[in-house]
Amino acid sequence: MKHLIDILRAEHHLESNGYKALLECDDDSVVAYLHEQAREVAQGVFARGIFVRGLVELTNVCRNDCYYCGIRNSNTALERYMLTTEQVLQSCQQGYELGFRTFVLQGGELPRDKAQWLVELVSEIRQRWSDCAITLSLGEWPREVYVALRKAGADRYLLRHESHNAEHYAKLHPAEMSLENRLQCLTWLKELGYQVGTGIMTGSPWQSLDNIVEDIEFIERFKPQMIGLGPFVPQHDTPLGKFATGSAELTCRLYSIFRLMFPNALIPSTTALNTIDVKGRIKGIMAGANVVMPNLSPANVRGNYALYDGKAITNAEAAEGIEQLETQLSTIGYHIDWGRGDHKQCTIHNA
């Protein structure tokens, strides 16, 4: 098995059965070797720096109804909010003063008539903080909206494909949503010159290891600059609220596989991982992740961006806990890299 890992590191590719074998492997020493190789590769490209992105959760209003998501349209148990332009700018200002140079605007999928507001918001952020990267994670829009957001100054876009298996995708989403449209959006984003991120929830209901292999192979072909992976965590007011939580171990294993496939990729150690495992963030970094996304949203709305139960919103998850994050990173010999952290095009120094 270690031989497979060596091949993945050297060639950045395995056959399907190789990926499946790595996912199935229950030998702890092999998994430890996988993480070690991934960590070495990440350190070869990024040294021991971890990029931080300030996350602003714009709104929990959503036109979609994904069966797993706590802010789905049908969830009536949730108090809805939408930040004002002024609140978003204040969050960015606070983030800028703390040292953040990437803002991630994430949110539920707003009604179509809010597109112009989003474009103006991005334009204002671009003018005020010209040295910062703007990442959007605002779901599916018609192509012209992506064009307008890009022209307004957005640099990056995160849109997890969620599952590359159409049958599995259909079990997680209502009939109005389609894998085809999700993939179309990803293609447009790439064509428009965004740095694009995609990914999945690990352990989402009905997900098989074969599904994950399909996801890996899609990501291999799509070549995103960012790869977003977190465990599925149930939210009690959703139709999938009684399914089991995904696995931190499998999530970290995937971070390592993707790091070996894409040495330069930006791979966040996600809040969901840190929610299900108190040491999740650190384990993610030790498996090859190199980004964390502390929360810059106003404190009074954070609890309402309730994607899943128990979502971590305080301490090192929060922007004001940045010192705590720094301390945590220093315990494993890492530090915050305050740069914009754009995707590196071609520097691979296999350590």
Alpha carbon 300 to chain centroid, angstroms: 23
Radius of gyration of the chain (CA): 19
Number of residues that bind ligand SAM (CB under 6 A): 19
Q: Which stretch binds ligand SAM (CB under 6 A): 18-26, 158-166, 210-218, 342-350?
A: 158-166
Binding residue for ligand SAM, selected from 51, 146, 157, 232, defined by CB under 6 A? 232
Longest CA pairwise span in the chain (Å): 54
Report the nearest approach of ligand SAM to the CB of residue 307 (Å): 4
The Cα–Cα gap between 169 and 207 comes to 9
269 binds ligand SAM (CB under 6 A): no
> Euclidean distance between the first and final Cα of the chain, in Å?
21
Site membership for ligand SAM, residue 68 (CB under 6 A): yes
Q: Which is nearer to ligand SAM, 181 or 314 (CB)?
A: 181
User: By the 8 A CB rule, do 349 and 44 touch?
Assistant: yes
Nearest approach, Cβ of 241 to ligand SAM (angstroms)?
9
176 burial level (CB within 10 Å; 0-12, 13-18, 19+): exposed
Nearest approach in angstroms of CB 233 to ligand SAM is 4
Q: Which stretch binds ligand SAM (CB under 6 A): 12-20, 65-73, 148-156, 170-178?
A: 65-73
Using the structure block, give the residue that is written with the tokens 């997900």: 207
Distance, CA of 14 to CA of 33 (rounded, Å): 17
CA dist 149 and 189 (Å) reads: 10
Among 108, 197, 205, 268, binds ligand SAM (CB under 6 A): 108
Of 225, 235, 251, 297, the one binding ligand SAM (CB under 6 A) is 235
137 binds ligand SAM per the rule CB under 6 A:
yes
* Token couple for 210: 């074969």
Cβ nearer to ligand SAM, comparing 16 with 181: 181
Q: Which residues make up the interface to ligand SAM (CB under 6 A)?
A: 68-69, 71, 106, 108-109, 137, 139, 159-160, 162, 201, 230, 232-233, 235, 272, 307-308
